Structure 1
């Protein structure tokens, strides 16, 4: 038999005992946050300074005069309008198509009885374990033989091939954890597997899909190596490739260079801020093993 104290003094003592631990945790979080935020503050402040201020003031000192012309000059000189269009087309096609294919594949492997289901899942996981850098040479040969070099399709298809296995793995774990009664009730009522997937599993998997959307958007938007190999025409370059070229030409113009960096990473940051509420809960749900 256990006794619980309801004395307010005892409750206050317990709370005070936990305070030092909470203070240490908060201090640690603040320090880590400052370490992560410091480079972004440096880049943002530098993008709003002229070269004279960059050389004479502290890196983390706010600009005295906001040189907003750095953004317009970098945008025009680096031809970022064309680069932005290329990145938007590739990312906004690849990300939703990849998530849809991954969700349908994960549902089939998790909920439809197949003789070789586990073997197919293992095959997909093996594909996710191979570093894509090892496959760059044969990938270029394959895409070139299909006549897809310097095309959107030639980049999107390899992106899908290397992104789907990881997404299937995460979604498969989530779908396996969903109670069987949900899908069985829908099937008994006469719903097909496609209807069950669309009306039952897709709505409850929105947090996981949102988390995967963030990861996939950021990785696709910032991808460099594969795009460098498959996109040789400058008019087909994405933002990371254009930023590399811009850095080579304007390495001494720190204001324009950092303005170009801000414009390149800003869309990915905005997407993360929009969907960040689903990020932790989504990845945690997808990591549950069925």
Structure 2
């Protein structure tokens, strides 16, 4: 057999393996996407039906269309109040957790002092305790401080429980910044805080965007803590609003589907805008060095 023939014979199996691997990868991606997209489409279309249509024709198009399932909640003041409450709590939580974590991560990453690793380990131990474990002492503490039915009763605990993961992410990123950059800033008369504020934070923008997205999503999806803290309906968030709506219209499945879709739209819109920042921040720390 000639050399070109042997080369072609080796290339063909390799190309077939590559094609099979690509096909398997695309199949897995399509299956996973179907598990996510199909329920969303079912809820979206089902919200335009009534409950009898869902029983007789669950997967077909609405006939007739019932847009009132969407328009009635949108014309309700309670839905918009719950939406604003969720936005307020999420933004306040994010500002606190990112601000405090950035300063703590800067100290852990750029300063050497006795007990540094021990203190950092204490922060990382916070990842070992589920939020639900602390709910009873946390409720007693919030009641003693008068923070029940107060947005701070949700914002401060959320920020506290968000610190460990955020500090770990930011510390890893801050440690990738070359020492030469800090030394050059020091020679130019920049203080440690000036270096942190004027140089390090702008360089860490991808990592800050990443932890901000994670903090917003975690706060938006939090159900248990607002349920414990808020008795006043005026402070209910979107997850509590969904639960209340389900309890009120438990027999009207189509209307519940429409409300759930409306509750998901802000989070999906935010994630679609922040997706690039999230992926860029997660990969930036891995590629620096």
TM over 0.5: yes
CA-to-partner distance for each residue in 1:148-204, whole Å, 9 max, x for gaps?
110111211111110111100111111112222222221222112222122322223
Task: Could you tell me which runs of 5 or more consecutive residues in structure 2 were left unpaired when the two chains were aligned.
Answer: none
How far residue 11 of structure 1 moved from its aligned partner, in angstroms, is 10
| Bigger mean CA offset, 11-20 vs 100-109 | 11-20
CA-to-partner distance for each residue in 1:192-251, whole Å, 9 max, x for gaps?
222212232222322222222222111101101111111121211111111111101101
Instruction: State the match for 1:156 in structure 2.
Output: 155
How far residue 101 of structure 1 moved from its aligned partner, in angstroms, is 1.6
Whole-Å Cα distance in 2 between the matches of residues 197 and 10 of structure 1? 59
Asked if 1 retains the 8 angstrom alpha-carbon contact of 2:97 and 2:162, the reply is yes
How far residue 9 of structure 1 moved from its aligned partner, in angstroms, is 6.3
Asked if 2 retains the 8 angstrom alpha-carbon contact of 1:48 and 1:66, the reply is yes
Aligned residues: 284
| Bigger mean CA offset, 118-127 vs 72-81 | 72-81
- Report the 3-state secondary structure (helix = DSSP H, G, I; strand = E; otherwise coil) of the residue aligned with 2:149: coil
- Report the 3-state secondary structure (helix = DSSP H, G, I; strand = E; otherwise coil) of the residue aligned with 1:80: helix
Instruction: State the match for 1:242 in structure 2.
Output: 241
1:127-146 maps to which residues of 2 (within 5 A)?
A: 127-146=126-145
Instruction: State the match for 2:38 in structure 1.
Output: 38
CA-to-partner distance for each residue in 1:50-70, whole Å, 9 max, x for gaps?
2232222133x3334442211
Are 1:106 and 2:114 counterparts? no
Whole-Å Cα distance in 2 between the matches of residues 235 and 51 of structure 1? 30
- Report the 3-state secondary structure (helix = DSSP H, G, I; strand = E; otherwise coil) of the residue aligned with 2:163: helix
Q: 1:66 to 1:192 in 2, by over 3 A?
A: farther
Whole-Å Cα distance in 2 between the matches of residues 31 and 170 of structure 1? 31
Task: Could you tell me which runs of 5 or more consecutive residues in structure 1 were left unpaired when the two chains were aligned.
Answer: none
Whole-Å Cα distance in 2 between the matches of residues 203 and 289 of structure 1? 15
Instruction: State the match for 1:47 in structure 2.
Output: 47
Asked if 2 retains the 8 angstrom alpha-carbon contact of 1:48 and 1:68, the reply is yes
Instruction: State the match for 2:178 in structure 1.
Output: 179
What TM-score does the superposition give when structure 2 sets the normalisation length? 0.89
1:199-210 maps to which residues of 2 (within 5 A)?
A: 199-210=198-209
- Report the 3-state secondary structure (helix = DSSP H, G, I; strand = E; otherwise coil) of the residue aligned with 1:226: helix
Whole-Å Cα distance in 1 between the matches of residues 77 and 242 of structure 2? 8
| Bigger mean CA offset, 97-106 vs 8-17 | 8-17
CA-to-partner distance for each residue in 1:119-148, whole Å, 9 max, x for gaps?
221111112321111111110111111111
Are 1:216 and 2:218 counterparts? no
How far residue 12 of structure 1 moved from its aligned partner, in angstroms, is 6.9
Asked if 1 retains the 8 angstrom alpha-carbon contact of 2:221 and 2:239, the reply is yes
Asked if 1 retains the 8 angstrom alpha-carbon contact of 2:46 and 2:58, the reply is no
How far residue 111 of structure 1 moved from its aligned partner, in angstroms, is 0.8
| Bigger mean CA offset, 37-46 vs 113-122 | 113-122
| Bigger mean CA offset, 11-20 vs 109-118 | 11-20
1:9-24 maps to which residues of 2 (within 5 A)?
A: 13=12, 14-24=14-24
Whole-Å Cα distance in 2 between the matches of residues 141 and 288 of structure 1? 45
What TM-score does the superposition give when structure 1 sets the normalisation length? 0.89
Q: 1:16 to 1:70 in 2, by over 3 A?
A: same
Superposition RMSD on alpha carbons, in Å? 2.5
The ranges of structure 1 where at least 4 consecutive aligned residues each deviate by more than 6 angstroms after the TM superposition are 8-12, 287-290
Whole-Å Cα distance in 2 between the matches of residues 48 and 203 of structure 1? 46
Whole-Å Cα distance in 2 between the matches of residues 198 and 63 of structure 1? 56
Asked if 2 retains the 8 angstrom alpha-carbon contact of 1:173 and 1:288, the reply is no
